[in-house]
Amino acid sequence: MRKGSAVCLVVPALVASLASCADPARQEQIAASVLTKIAPIADADAAQVRRGLPEGAKKLGEHIDAEPETNLVALQRVVRGSRVNVEDLRTSKCTFFSFADTTGVVHRSETDPDNLAQKQIFTVFPGLKKALEPNAGIVEAWGDMEEMRIAKQGPEHQWVAAHAVVDKEGKTKGLFVTGWSLRRFAQHIDQAAKDELIKAAERERKVKVPLVYVFLVKDGKAYGGPMAPDVNAHAVEALDLATKTQSGPYRGHAEITGRTFGVAAQKAPNIGESIVLSVLVSEV
């Protein structure tokens, strides 16, 4: 971890309390403390999906019709039941749950409007085909599919996981598919960061809560929540956090539109092999 330019002899806390610390160091300390709080949340969310998807696929196989495409209302009900009856999936942060046949065509998703209905997912996520192979287990893939976007404009990227659906006769019917947009997942973690800072402010009896943004960095692109300013995303990209976190967590600061932000980042392999979880914090 890079050492800050100033040292404060205090135990790290979500809200630094000594005015003698240099301002950039204060922001860095807050950012680093927030990161330690939200990183386990992100890891747990990813693990939750990987635990629950095989069981959900099994339940889907037990209840799916012989020709599921002939009764889409029933198929949607089975997809929904396969999620809500598995605790890990019921509380997961995934943005969609769908059934796709062996050719990769989605026949029905859990919710309406169903933007994925009749769409081919193998075109964008060809790696998911491997999930149809015997004993493949969960297969994960990355891509950008228009029907999975949650941002109307700007860069997007999705993490998708699939598991084979096998009926009671042992025939592979298709795939149980789920996943999330990186920008929606960043929004979820961003809210967790805000909650931590609010709690800290209450403990410190402070009126103002620091400004915070969470970004997930993949392949040099920073993905924040739908309301995260583009200028902040570009600033995160310019930091080259993939390189800076090679040997461990990074801590520093950046000037963005005249405001000093503390920056903390670390690799997040449980979310994705090349993912970096980063936090920007600035006291208001």
Q: Can you give the pLDDT of all 284 residues of the chain as single tens digits?
A: 444 433 333 334 444 333 334 389 999 999 999 999 999 999 999 999 999 999 999 999 999 999 999 999 999 999 999 999 999 999 999 999 999 999 999 999 999 999 999 999 999 999 999 999 999 999 999 999 999 988 767 789 999 999 999 999 999 999 999 999 999 999 999 999 999 999 999 998 988 999 999 999 999 999 999 889 999 999 999 999 999 999 999 999 999 999 999 999 999 999 998 999 999 999 97
For 149, the token pair is: 């976007």
Reported as a single tens digit per residue, the pLDDT across 200-250 is 999 989 889 999 999 999 999 999 998 899 999 999 999 999 999 999 999
For residue 273, what pLDDT is reported? 87
Instruction: Using a pLDDT cut of 90, give the percent of the chain over it.
Output: 87
Q: Is the pTM of this model over 0.85?
A: yes
Residue 13, domain member (yes or no): no
Q: Which CATH number characterizes residue 259's domain?
A: 3.30.450
107 within some domain: yes
Same domain, 102 and 206: no
Shared-domain flag, residues 169 and 252: no
String of DSSP letters for the chain: -PPPSS---S---SS---TTS-HHHHHHHHHHHHHHHHHHHHHHHHHHHHHHHHHHHHHHHHH--SSGGG-HHHHHHHHHHHHHTSHHHHT---SEEEEEETTSBEEEESSSS-TTTT-BSTTT-GGGGGGGSTT---EEEEE--GGG--SSSS---EEEEEEEEE-TTS-EEEEEEEEEEHHHHHHHHHHHHHHHHHHHHHHTT-S---EEEEEEEETTEEEE-TTS-HHHHHHHHHT-HHHHTTTS-EEEEEEETTEEEEEEEEE-TTT-TT-EEEEEEE--
Q: Is residue 15 part of a domain?
A: no
Domain, as residue range, for 200: 23-42+184-282
Residue 2 lies inside a defined structural domain of this protein: no
Whether 126 and 152 share a structural domain? yes
pLDDT single digits (tens) 234-246: 999 999 999 999 9
